Structure 1
């Protein structure tokens, strides 16, 4: 990596070199604690890298929380050479005693890491970053992992049944197709198996009792990728699942009368699963029984391994909190009959872990609590420029001429390069993974990178300055990852309907489907769909005519059943046909006029447009880039644009709109962004303002969050052309709103607007460019787009590797609510608590404050004073409190990546569309939601 050159410079510091020599002399003796004091937080990763690089064994890096572990691992990867990998131990998502299903993907990652540590050498990572929760996690012993690892080579004598027996014993799941780690399939003399830690599954082809060939293959296409000389088959989990049958008697004794009836039933069901060789969902609870010695990842570390601890006080606090919380949960759960009395602690005791850590030399970062305290005065904070680019360039030139080696790590590297080029200053522009050149006096290197913060090294022999976007521009946004949404097609036969749901018969109207029945008609027994209409009237529809029945898709409100034989349904269909004909004629006239109208052709992208693209802190997906290109192509055409951008929540529709708006402003036009709620208006206002802060663009918001005086001034400025982009609710479609030169209208969540707002928009469709955005477009809009009447861009691919959102449906439980909130707080996140009843929302807040006193709780709903609501939302964005209790006002557009848990109270009272929109508010970061 490019920045590993700076690591070499830090290694040469007398203080760092002395510590390395000291550790080398004491290697393996342990019980030595060294503390770096007064070291800037941003300089900790490079100093850590300077201590890690060159050590033959894996170094353990301890962080207090998952977010800190991820951040440290990312930074260490930048500062270490490319061949020195950094791994993060996947900590359990569940808190101790919390019964969540086993995450097979995380289990596969853990066992693969254990195998690498066990093998050592080049296969092991240079550094393993682990949290407190990960340190106490129980794993199988190293020798047992070695015994249950199977190495297979072509030509080896091996019975296919022996491989199958081994695989099912250690926990592989039989599957028709192998598509994820931990699965296995057999077809005749071929076994497909997806081993943890491998990029592709392997195909073992047997000829009798001999392995004929081994090939890797693509799980999506099932096509072979190439021959392998050998494959190493690992167990699919870090726990010895093959011991399940041995622990059954012990677990049977725990299933006592202390459990509530329904819990006892679940416990016995778990015992039945174990007896049948299945892995139960709550396998973490069984860890101490499967591994009585309570082995941890620390037991896999070499005796000479170094331990680096970031913020020892925070680590100790996290450990104390975890142990205290686990004790509280156990007392509460056993007292309520939710867990059996006598259940062993499902993690290793923290005092035992501290003893294991004490066997290794340790270097602490953050507090002066070591046997030996080191101060490094030569390393300090980097200077802050906060968007003053002229001052930045002047300082870079001056320091370069003075002999300093300067590194500018920025997502806007090309833009910084242009600024230096304008001043005639030579520089190197490289990617973050480019090979490292030695630190050279006076050299300026720009690195395309998203490092969190910079630092400065200043000694008599050398001066090195590293500046990041935080110092250069004054802010930095963390990269978020999103997942690819899985979709399924609706069925079209009788078996696809669920008893109790509403359906529509094409001839008879709306009814409730109650199930399938068999009737004898003229001596022939046939199967029928039973539909119940108003007043209990019944209609039996033969299953071979089920194509005449479809699901009712009218939204979250329960429909009224039609009356059989009344002619009501016929009259309804007649009215709808008439309305459709009128609408079709209106649309034909509208779009015919649009096709013949002369719109405004915007110029091609300017330098500023390209700079804005470079400043986007995430990598565009293929579909998102296609949508951006299509929108810009439409804008550069003389025909007025009317494009629907359709994509799942969190897939990047707002960025498409923002770039289009900026292009319109650069072309001398005004932009109106219409949104359905004040909260969404505030969110968009903040996003547009922040992204466009470096440009002479005025963005304003017009909603009820602005008082009357401010609104009057905004309206006047809008009329005079002093405002470039106006963002607002239905307020901007009222008659007193006048634009000087409107060129683009963006409608977010068009399906949320009524007829009056649609009439306003209709006036513009033949004159200005219009972008409509929606995750759930109304059927008419979607049909028009699919039929080619309106242009459509579908963003169906999400940014890379976003984790799927897990959804659980359960009854209210004080114990469960406390567990859920504490689990999110433990990883440094925030929580939405949706309670859609304003009259008792304060009582709920009081209850939650009593239930979880550790949490800071705020309240927000639509009946609050506008200024107060705005302050609440901004405070939540700043993480001034941890839990926001709100109504469904948050369902539209709120984007706070740090919120990754949502609790919805009385979810049964909400519609499916509302639940879907609410679900999209979480899972917008690297954390599991």
Structure 2
């Protein structure tokens, strides 16, 4: 729907029945979307709400309680600063010395800094007694003031509000579901004391008298399901049930003194696909399909009037054809037929390169548009370039979109390595088998025994049990799993280290010395290289662009940086001095 405002409602970014809470970014985006949906229900206007199968199946807090947690203020208001601090803490904000990220607040005398969901910058509230004197915008990175605000709307940071009412209801529901809690039940103890507990959101039904669904927030809004959405909903529900059963079985294998994870019943926290269909009620529900298909009973099936655009796969495979000449002719034919044409690239860089190549093949007079809404305003027969995340092009009666992948082939993306999230840890630990030889960065070679739940500081923690020589044992929290690596393939010759022994540190010290010696040699070689010269090598841009376009993978930021650096080296008039490093399959060959 070009031109309409879009709200995005993401799902929790953690696994079902996890021991960790949703990340602050995901929680902020969810509360921002829920608050906007409440406002939309009160003052209806045309808008699009985008969500996922995961988010749609998840039950959410009642709208009136989410609305009640929203706090409005403007300069001149009388506000009890201590009451505001208490409100922030019960709403899920974290008190810190200096505000750096979403969900944090800090207090310094009569100044309160906070960074709330939905805000692009943090706010600084300046109080004189109980009077709010000013609301200033500041950059969380530099702490410098960048502007003023006339008002603010502050919403919660978590879907769990720890109020006397919700705490009482949680205690009652927890006991009804699981019986009297153990003395060292960290979750029950923390909530009873009004403290937040990691992963407490997974017991969301216990905090409220009832939960709602996305459909309850917007009771008369039509719903459109994308192609294969129902299959995605069924797969997600199966995953939820699998995790629930895994937690139940894990409780049976917990250590004697450990408090087992007690999962809430799936139907309390999630919708089943059948419940979801029932929740739709009499509202209009439409299924998008890429095919011409009739309605099925009350179920409406809608073909949006577009079809797949032309793919140039045959021309790419023909060694005697130039795919760019064929593309230019195709675009010229469509323009002659008075149809608008958009050439879509995935990124600014790839679009610039594609535009240069097409220009060299005599495709000119191209405009630049940002959205499809702008493309619809082009004059008939005009062509334009746009950055659009399209895997393939499409055609309507008046518009032809040619995607980068149609011309160059399927867009292939390597998954970039990222910092491990807590939600990934249990899965990785479970991938280890009992008896595997592992290497700890600080303690050396040990034998993995299994995943154990132990009590620490009054709370249960998932740990990896590792045995060392002399029957020494190490319980490593799963959040520190990056300290472990697998031993080489030949584990038969592995000798276990002793915890606290000096052998492992001695081996590391010897290796460190060898590396320092090698570094000295490299420095001497680098100095000699700087004294020499070489002929500069600069490729012709047009030919280089066509050559680069033949590679099917989209360059990552790191790849592009490496490519640019190598080209600079070749043109510098010095012998090359660069090593391209990367994991197997991460694109060194393309560089």
- Normalized against structure 1, the TM-score is what? 0.47
The aligned residue for residue 312 of structure 2 is: 385
Structure 2 residue ranges without an equivalent (≥5): 255-259, 317-322, 422-439, 445-486, 489-494
The whole-number CA distance in structure 2 between the counterparts of 1:174 and 1:385 is 57
How far apart are 1:640 and its partner, in Å? Answer: 1.2
Structure 1 stretch 417-426 or stretch 468-477: which is displaced more?
417-426
What whole-Å deviation, never above 9, does each CA across 1:657-692 have from its counterpart, x for those lacking one? xxxxxxxxxxxxxxxxxx9xxxx3xx37x874xx6x
How far apart are 1:304 and its partner, in Å? Answer: 3.1
The whole-number CA distance in structure 2 between the counterparts of 1:483 and 1:178 is 24
Kindly indicate whether residue 342 of structure 2 is the aligned counterpart of residue 407 of structure 1.
yes
Distance 1:230 1:102, change over 3 A: same
For the Cα contact (< 8 Å) 2:28–2:102, is it kept in 1?
yes
The aligned residue for residue 234 of structure 2 is: 317
How far apart are 1:618 and its partner, in Å? Answer: 5.8
For the Cα contact (< 8 Å) 2:79–2:132, is it kept in 1?
yes
- Aligned mate of 1:184, from 105, 111, 117: 105
How far apart are 1:114 and its partner, in Å? Answer: 0.8
The aligned residue for residue 51 of structure 2 is: 130
Kindly indicate whether residue 161 of structure 2 is the aligned counterpart of residue 240 of structure 1.
yes
The whole-number CA distance in structure 1 between the counterparts of 2:384 and 2:502 is 71
For the Cα contact (< 8 Å) 2:351–2:387, is it kept in 1?
yes
- Aligned mate of 1:355, from 278, 290, 295: 278
What whole-Å deviation, never above 9, does each CA across 1:549-584 have from its counterpart, x for those lacking one? xxxxxx99969848xxxxx99xx99xx79x988995
For the Cα contact (< 8 Å) 1:191–1:204, is it kept in 2?
yes
- Aligned mate of 2:537, from 593, 596, 602: 602
Distance 1:89 1:499, change over 3 A: closer
The whole-number CA distance in structure 1 between the counterparts of 2:331 and 2:441 is 71
Structure 1 stretch 137-146 or stretch 412-421: which is displaced more?
412-421
Distance 1:598 1:165, change over 3 A: closer
How far apart are 1:598 and its partner, in Å? Answer: 4.1
Q: How does 1:806-885 map to 2 (within 5 A)?
A: none
The whole-number CA distance in structure 2 between the counterparts of 1:143 and 1:612 is 59
- Aligned mate of 2:200, from 270, 283, 289: 283
Distance 1:286 1:405, change over 3 A: same
For the Cα contact (< 8 Å) 1:381–1:454, is it kept in 2?
yes
The whole-number CA distance in structure 1 between the counterparts of 2:519 and 2:115 is 55
Distance 1:129 1:373, change over 3 A: closer
The whole-number CA distance in structure 2 between the counterparts of 1:192 and 1:219 is 10
The aligned residue for residue 766 of structure 1 is: none
For the Cα contact (< 8 Å) 1:139–1:291, is it kept in 2?
no
For the Cα contact (< 8 Å) 2:190–2:197, is it kept in 1?
yes
Q: Secondary structure at the match of 1:447?
A: strand
For the Cα contact (< 8 Å) 1:117–1:125, is it kept in 2?
no
The aligned residue for residue 368 of structure 2 is: 430
Distance 1:611 1:153, change over 3 A: farther
Report how many aligned residue pairs link the two structures. 490
Q: Secondary structure at the match of 2:578?
A: strand
What whole-Å deviation, never above 9, does each CA across 1:765-810 have from its counterpart, x for those lacking one? xxxxxxxxxxxxxxxxxxxxxxxxxxxxxxxxxxxxxxxxxxxxxx
The aligned residue for residue 465 of structure 1 is: 400
For the Cα contact (< 8 Å) 2:17–2:244, is it kept in 1?
no
What whole-Å deviation, never above 9, does each CA across 1:23-51 have from its counterpart, x for those lacking one? xxxxxxxxxxxxxxxxxxxxxxxxxx3xx
- Aligned mate of 1:477, from 384, 398, 412: 412
For the Cα contact (< 8 Å) 1:256–1:340, is it kept in 2?
no
Distance 1:291 1:425, change over 3 A: same
How far apart are 1:184 and its partner, in Å? Answer: 1.7
The aligned residue for residue 740 of structure 1 is: none
Distance 1:209 1:636, change over 3 A: same
For the Cα contact (< 8 Å) 2:103–2:157, is it kept in 1?
yes
The aligned residue for residue 25 of structure 2 is: 105
The aligned residue for residue 331 of structure 2 is: 396
The aligned residue for residue 641 of structure 1 is: 576
For the Cα contact (< 8 Å) 1:218–1:224, is it kept in 2?
yes
Q: Secondary structure at the match of 1:109?
A: helix
The whole-number CA distance in structure 1 between the counterparts of 2:198 and 2:416 is 27
For the Cα contact (< 8 Å) 1:102–1:283, is it kept in 2?
no
Distance 1:470 1:612, change over 3 A: same
How far apart are 1:231 and its partner, in Å? Answer: 0.9
The aligned residue for residue 451 of structure 1 is: 390
The aligned residue for residue 230 of structure 1 is: 151
The aligned residue for residue 441 of structure 1 is: 380
How far apart are 1:373 and its partner, in Å? Answer: 5.6
How far apart are 1:479 and its partner, in Å? Answer: 8.4
The whole-number CA distance in structure 2 between the counterparts of 1:122 and 1:482 is 44
Q: How does 1:648-667 map to 2 (within 5 A)?
A: none
How far apart are 1:468 and its partner, in Å? Answer: 0.9
Structure 1 residue ranges without an equivalent (≥5): 1-48, 50-79, 487-497, 503-554, 563-567, 646-652, 655-674, 692-745, 747-929
For the Cα contact (< 8 Å) 1:202–1:215, is it kept in 2?
yes
Distance 1:270 1:617, change over 3 A: same
For the Cα contact (< 8 Å) 1:148–1:235, is it kept in 2?
yes
The aligned residue for residue 306 of structure 1 is: 222
Kindly indicate whether residue 131 of structure 2 is the aligned counterpart of residue 201 of structure 1.
no
Q: Secondary structure at the match of 1:278?
A: coil
How far apart are 1:414 and its partner, in Å? Answer: 3.7
Larger radius of gyration: 1
How far apart are 1:639 and its partner, in Å? Answer: 2.5
What whole-Å deviation, never above 9, does each CA across 1:101-132 have from its counterpart, x for those lacking one? 34232112111111111112899882222233
For the Cα contact (< 8 Å) 2:309–2:402, is it kept in 1?
yes
Distance 1:217 1:125, change over 3 A: farther
The whole-number CA distance in structure 2 between the counterparts of 1:635 and 1:499 is 39
How far apart are 1:624 and its partner, in Å? Answer: 7.0
The whole-number CA distance in structure 1 between the counterparts of 2:142 and 2:63 is 36
For the Cα contact (< 8 Å) 2:392–2:406, is it kept in 1?
yes
The whole-number CA distance in structure 1 between the counterparts of 2:539 and 2:20 is 53
What whole-Å deviation, never above 9, does each CA across 1:521-562 have from its counterpart, x for those lacking one? xxxxxxxxxxxxxxxxxxxxxxxxxxxxxxxxxx99969848
The whole-number CA distance in structure 2 between the counterparts of 1:406 and 1:197 is 36
The whole-number CA distance in structure 2 between the counterparts of 1:620 and 1:316 is 31
The whole-number CA distance in structure 1 between the counterparts of 2:354 and 2:132 is 58
Distance 1:218 1:425, change over 3 A: closer
What whole-Å deviation, never above 9, does each CA across 1:39-70 have from its counterpart, x for those lacking one? xxxxxxxxxx3xxxxxxxxxxxxxxxxxxxxx
How far apart are 1:234 and its partner, in Å? Answer: 0.9
For the Cα contact (< 8 Å) 1:150–1:232, is it kept in 2?
yes
The whole-number CA distance in structure 2 between the counterparts of 1:472 and 1:290 is 54
For the Cα contact (< 8 Å) 1:432–1:448, is it kept in 2?
yes
- Aligned mate of 1:91, from 6, 11, 33: 11
The aligned residue for residue 35 of structure 2 is: 115
Structure 1 stretch 155-164 or stretch 96-105: which is displaced more?
96-105
For the Cα contact (< 8 Å) 2:222–2:285, is it kept in 1?
yes
- Aligned mate of 1:212, from 127, 133, 144: 133
Q: Secondary structure at the match of 2:20?
A: coil
How far apart are 1:481 and its partner, in Å? Answer: 6.8
Structure 1 stretch 277-286 or stretch 423-432: which is displaced more?
423-432
Structure 1 stretch 137-146 or stretch 333-342: which is displaced more?
333-342
For the Cα contact (< 8 Å) 1:178–1:185, is it kept in 2?
yes
Distance 1:632 1:209, change over 3 A: same
For the Cα contact (< 8 Å) 1:409–1:467, is it kept in 2?
yes
Q: Secondary structure at the match of 1:642?
A: coil
Q: How does 1:578-593 map to 2 (within 5 A)?
A: 590-591=525-526, 593=528
